[in-house]
Amino acid sequence: MTLSLTETPASGPSAAPRLTDAEVREHLVQLLGAKVLTGDEARARYSHDEAEWAPYAVPAAVVRAVRTEDVATTVRFCADYGIPVVARGAGTGLSGGANAMAGCVVVALDAMDRILEIDPVERFAVVEPGVVNDRLRAASAEYGLWYPPDPASAPWSTIGGNVATNAGGVCCLKYGVTGDYVLGLEVVTGTGEIVRLGRRTAKGVAGYDLTSLMVGSEGTLGIVTQVTVRLRPARAPERTVVGFFSSTVAAGDAVVAVARAGIVPSALELLDRHCLEAVNDWKNLGLETDAAVILLARVDDAGAEGDALAEQVQACFDSAGSTFSAVSGDQQEADALFAARRLAYPAVERLGPVLTEDVCVPVVKVPEMLGRIDEIGRRYDVLIANIAHAGDGNLHPLIITKPGDDAARDRAQLAFAEIIAAALTVGGTVTGEHGVGLLKRDGLVAEISPAVADLHVAIRDALDPHRILNPGKVIDR
């Protein structure tokens, strides 16, 4: 049975009496002192992420951990009394994975923000979960190194949250997602034990790959308190290719053309006029908004090979019917376009409540899926703005409604469900990088078989025997 966000388990493993919220706060203050946030405003501030319309409740208490032992102490206390524990980073998630439930304790990890080590010889970094993604990248660059995973939220999101959802980003088309760079983890288990998983060596296959099991588990199998990540050498300067298209389907055809040509750009991103106009209105960037859809590609191969690949990408855009294309010679302009891509979601949020999709489909199905999204938007009479990591089929249709328009909200939720169903029909998945959280639980059940669902639940039971870690999220019964 899935817990609602207004329920807590009846008792812990020792059948301890159920505590009131005030008693939970009192006990935790005795254990952890000022690290426990008890005020109404503070608890409300840590009660939810950025997922529109995902349910949440104000937690009983918030523990703002500063070291691993704070997390372990909290989990052990909660295990004794059967109190749910929800781990949270920067709160930038878009699926409700960090949303609190009534009576729970939120463990906030944003204050655990130290970069503990960067090894330029072995090319790895050791960080706490509250380190912001862009800060790690900047610190790595001082050693001539690069941390590739770069979600659009990289200026704000934390490494712990990136690990929890196995976040991708602009560069993942060529360089992979967060899980491809996680070498090892320190984790607090559901019983409050501190364990170390993984390795620091370039290779290692001893035992089961428990590190990969934790990546993407959204705080349901353990709470990550330290991360060891692989780093790469810094890249050559990128060339940017821009293509304007008259429709999302035409832009999708260009994406398929690039894939069929065997070209792997370092980025291949899509954003439509709605997103560009929203960014322009917000940041006054002066971007061209005549095109219905823009594709942005980057090529980071060095020298003449990079030049040739950029020209091939442009030729693919033209073969698919671009109304304009160019290999940008203006780095400032190119950077402004990619900045617009990163700013698209917060810019669109300013227009009204946004329900964010995260489906991922086979690349050859991108044109069809984009066409289906357009049709669903028309049929339900909702505005859908499109951004996408188009090169790997990860689409982010943003369903926008007006504040206070309950009828539009209902239609948006129907459109959301139908987009998920359409993605599964064409062989896709319900989430490419945002995680299942609360919003995609029905989609996950539709995507996997009952036998696989049973495996998920069995793993949760093994690693969280008291059922306290982020209950009701991802899959739980």
Instruction: Locate CATH 3.30.465.10 in the chain.
Output: 115-233
Average pLDDT over the chain reads 94
In whole angstroms, what is the distance from residue 251 CA to residue 316 CA? 10
In whole angstroms, what is the distance from residue 297 CA to residue 318 CA? 13
Q: Identify the CATH homologous superfamily for domain 239-425.
A: FAD-linked oxidases, C-terminal domain (3.40.462.10)
CATH architecture for segment(s) 115-233: 2-Layer Sandwich (3.30)
Residue 364 one-letter amino acid = V
Rounded CA Rg of the chain: 23
pLDDT tens, residue by residue, 247-283: 999 999 999 999 999 999 999 999 999 998 999 889 8
Instruction: Locate CATH 3.40.462.10 in the chain.
Output: 239-425
pLDDT at 243: 95
pLDDT tens, residue by residue, 67-80: 999 999 999 999 99
In whole angstroms, what is the distance from residue 132 CA to residue 161 CA? 9
pLDDT at 444: 97
Range with the lowest mean pLDDT among 212-226, 289-303, 328-342, 388-402?
328-342
Give the number of other Cβ atoms within 10 Å of residue 346's Cβ: 18
pLDDT tens, residue by residue, 6-60: 444 444 454 578 899 999 999 999 999 999 999 999 999 999 999 989 999 999 9
pLDDT at 287: 72
| Residue 102 backbone phi and psi in degrees, to 5 | -60, 135
Residue 266 one-letter amino acid = S
